[in-house]
Each structure stands twice: as structure tokens, then as C-alpha cells.
Amino acid sequence: MRIIIAFPPLSSQKGIPLLAQNRQFQWAKTPWTAYPMVPASAATLLDKSDHQVLWADGITKGQTYSTWEKEVIKFKPDLIFIESKTPVIKTHWKIINSLKKKLKKTIFVLAGDHLTALPKESFLHSKVDYVLTGGDYDFLLLSLVNHLSKREKLSPGIYYRAKSQIRSTGPSKLNHSLEDLPLIDRDLTQYKLYAYKNSNYAYTPGTYTMFARDCWWGRCTFCSWTTLYPGKHYRQISPQKALKEVGQLIEKYSIKEIMDDSGTLPVGSWLQTFCKGMIKSGLNKKIKISCNMRFNSGLSQKDFSLMKKAGFRLLLFGLESSNQKTLDRLNKNLKVTQIIPALKKAKKAGLRPHITVMVGYPWETKDDIRNTLSFAKKIFKDGLADSLQATIITPYPGTPLFKEAQKENWLKTTNWDDYDMKQPVLKTSLSDNQLQSLTRSLYSSFFTPQFLIKKTREALSDPKVFKYYIRLALKFPSKLLDFKS
């Protein structure tokens, strides 16, 4: 079959949609996108099964819609696959409906966290033919294509039209073995498009891996990936396969930095074996690795030091709030008192912690937000973190937070276009302007004189790091603009 993995350009005054590979959707003012791991895995699986695959990411290529559409029509696809998210689902419906008029025989398939939460909705609003639910939609897309081309039985988790009804093959099962997946074909999926403009990379070209799907905690009430991979479905590839992938990324693609986007990187004996393998093979001298980590991972000072020696650089920690009541309500399974010790250990090992913070929780007062602000300020003043990301909490459909918001009558709107983390959709005691201004203050919080002196010293010691900080500094004003009403 002729298959397109499609990211149609979505023009908006809000900016560039950070759609794929993102737990929390955002529009960004400066263009960058993350390498979409599961769609790339789907493309590789289909290609290895002798199907013709076109990778059509019009967003990252910066194409106009009409240029992208011409490319799509010219390919004469039998099937078009689109990964969607809540704030752009309505636009994707319009695109499918419009394309269906020009490509009458083409089959349209949607997947993603929004579709997993509300699989039937898209059949009512668009001419979509199939919806794949759950996070293993690479395996499900292959199953669907094998069904269409070879009459094979459909896997569980697929919704389809049957005359005037919407039927499904039952709940999706997250039991596929990641070890059986082929290593991703980065050329087929145009990895260079994503290799430079990403603030997670100090060293370029960079790329993404996902050594695990998804998070060994997997229960935070706001996390949209808990829709795709509810807790207890954490799976990982073996450390040996991860090392093979790192080796291939260096040898074949000249990659200098990896962002591993497992919800949280595996720890314990997996991490030890992986790190020791990186050191023994000498791969640690050729590449840097960044990853998502939890404050209460149980990692000791020795573990953090081993990670540093193995080539790890940036660790992304979800702080979310410095108010214990908020961490408890979000089911973060985290004590505020665990935050500083974990940061100290990571910094002592020479790693660079990045923290993410959110505002706009319905139960938080202005004083609560100020508390988080001063906590973040102190972290930066004490040199315990290197960067920060601040956003406005958004309850995505399918998450426990969304259900709580419905029950408590906190939702200001169910117009999905507004669920983009730029504007509050939850009722709070603060005005939208106040929340946006507090988000901007969080970004400014790390610009203390001590922090700037430290960063200038670091930047001057390594030309690559210097260039990286220049890139970050240039991005800073646009970050503030992202939260300007």
C-alpha cells in the first residue's frame, strides 16, 4: 500500500504547533518540533513490510498548506495517517473532510491521546475511516494495513465504521514487545529536519529515542500520556538494544546528542547496565544523552555520577508546584522535601537539571503561586537548576484531572481549540491576565545576577555550550510572548 505519515501545516497566529512527541501541547513562537518517535516507528515498520511510505511533515518543513497538499495528492496515497491532539483535533477534522473530496478512495486514520480518550467523536465530525487508540499505534497501524492488504485479523484498540455504526475491536492492549521493533529508519523519517532547532540539544545534530513506553509512575492526574499508557503498562527495551541504538545513531547518523523521551527513564539495574555499557564501549565519549527523570527516583549520588560518566547531560524534572497540597492532588507521589536533595545530587555529579512548573490549578491561591515562584527563584539562585519551562495547567480529555474538572464544574469551556496551555481553561480565583503574567514571572525568575555570572563562565569555557546559550537567550523573549494575552 502507499501510506503517508502526515503532519499537515496548521497555520495559526498563535505560532507553530508543538504537536508530536509532546505530553502538553503548545504553540511556540520560534519554530522547532520534536522528532516524533511513535510515528517514526510506524513508518519504519510499514517500510520493512514492503509498503511505500511518504513522511510528510509540513509543520517542520515550514510548508504552506497548498504546497503540502500538492505533495500529498501527487503521491496518490491509499492511506493517510495523522497523529492529533486536543487543541488541533477540530482543524484535523476539517483537513480530512477537505482532502476526502480530492482523494475519494484514500483511507484516513487518526491516533493520539485525544483519540484514545474520545474515539467516537471524530467519526461524528469528520470522514475519518479508522481511529487507533492507545500508545502503541505504530503496531496498530501495521495491523490495520495488514488487514486491508492481506485480510489479517485486526488488533484490539481499533475503531471503524460499519455501515451507520461505529464499531471497535475492543480495548487496546499495551502488550507489544518493544524489543521486537526494528531500529528506526531515520533517513526515511527525515531526522535532519528535527536535528538542530531544539533547546534540549546543546550538541547537534541531535535526535530522540524512547528506550521505554512510558513512565514507571504513570499516574499524575494531568499527564496526557497516561491516556495513552495508563500506569502499569511501562515497557522498556533491553539495555543491550538501547546501546545498539546509540551506537547506530553515532555511526550511521553522526548524532551528537540524544533526548530520550521515555516518560521517565528506567532506573535500577537497567540504568546501571546501560551506563556501564556506554562507558565500556567508549560511546560515552562520542555522544551526550538527556532524559526525563523523577525527583523520587531513588537514584543515589553514585548513580547520578555514573550517569554523568556515561554521557548524560540534561535531566528534565517535573516539579509542577512547590505546594505539597498540589503535588498530592496531582498524584505526583512526591514530597516537596525530596526536590532539593535530588537536585543537589544531580548538580554535584555535574548534570544539568531542567525543571518544569505549572500555574493555574483551581485550588491554588495567588500566595501559593508566589510560593512556587520564590521556590524556583531560590533553586536558580543556589545554582541547583540550569533551565525552566513554565506552562498553564490544561486538563486533557481522558486524564483524571479532566474528569475531576468535569465533576467540580471547573471547566470554562469544552472548545478544544482553547486547550493549548496558553490560556487557562480551568476556573481559578485569578484572572487570565494575572496567570499569564505569573507564568512570565516564572520564566524571569531564573535571571538572577548569580545565575547569569555562572552561565557566562560556563559558556566561555566551551564554544559549543556558548553557541547553545546564545540560542537559548534568543529564544527567551519569544517564550515570554507565548504567554502574552
Cα distance between residue 38 and residue 32, in whole Å: 18
Residue from 19, 174, 184, 223 that binds ligand SF4 (CB under 6 A)?
Answer: 223
CB of 117 to ligand SF4, least distance (A): 15
Q: Which 246-285 positions form the footprint of ligand SF4 (CB under 6 A)?
A: 263-264
- What is the spatial distance between Cα 243 and Cα 245, in angstroms, rounded to a whole number? 5
Residue 77 or 263: the one with the smaller Cβ distance to ligand SF4 is 263
Select from 86, 155, 198, 226 the one that contacts ligand SF4 (CB under 6 A). Answer: 226
Q: Angle 404-409-413 (CA atoms, 0-180°, nearest 5)? A: 100
9 contacts ligand SF4 (rule: CB under 6 A): no
SS3 of the chain: helix, strand, coil, percent, to 5:
45, 15, 40
**Strand partners of residue 354:** 316, 387
Using CA atoms, how far residue 42 sits from 4, 82, 139, 285, 405, in Å, is 11, 11, 7, 31, 34
- Amino acid making up residue 146: N
Please say which residue, 108 or 419, places its beta carbon nearer to ligand SF4: 419
225 binds ligand SF4, rule: CB under 6 A? yes
Residues between 184 and 203 that touch ligand SF4 (CB under 6 A): none
Q: Does 318 bind ligand SF4 (CB under 6 A)?
A: yes
Of 288 and 294, nearer to ligand SF4 (C-beta) is 294
The helix (run of H) or strand (run of E) holding residue 110 is strand 107-111
Q: How many CA atoms lie within 13 A of 330 on its CB side?
A: 30
286 dihedral zone (left: phi>0; alpha: psi -120 to 50; beta): alpha
All 3 cell numbers of residue 455? Answer: 552561565
Considering only the stretches 164-172, 213-221, 371-379, 462-470, report the one whose residues sit in contact with ligand SF4 under the rule CB under 6 A.
Answer: 213-221
Say if CB 444 and CB 384 are below 8 A apart.
no
Q: How far is the CB of 225 from ligand SF4 (least distance, A)?
A: 6
Stretches 99-107, 147-155, 218-226, 394-402: which one binds ligand SF4 (CB under 6 A)? 218-226
218 binds ligand SF4 (CB under 6 A): yes
Among 34, 215, 319, 430, binds ligand SF4 (CB under 6 A): 215
Which of 81, 191, 217, 380 is the binder for ligand SF4 (CB under 6 A)?
217
Size of the site for ligand SF4 (CB under 6 A): 12
**Cα gap 132→124, rounded to integer Å:** 16
424 binds ligand SF4 (CB under 6 A): no
Residues near ligand SF4, by CB under 6 A: 215, 217-220, 223, 225-226, 263-264, 294, 318
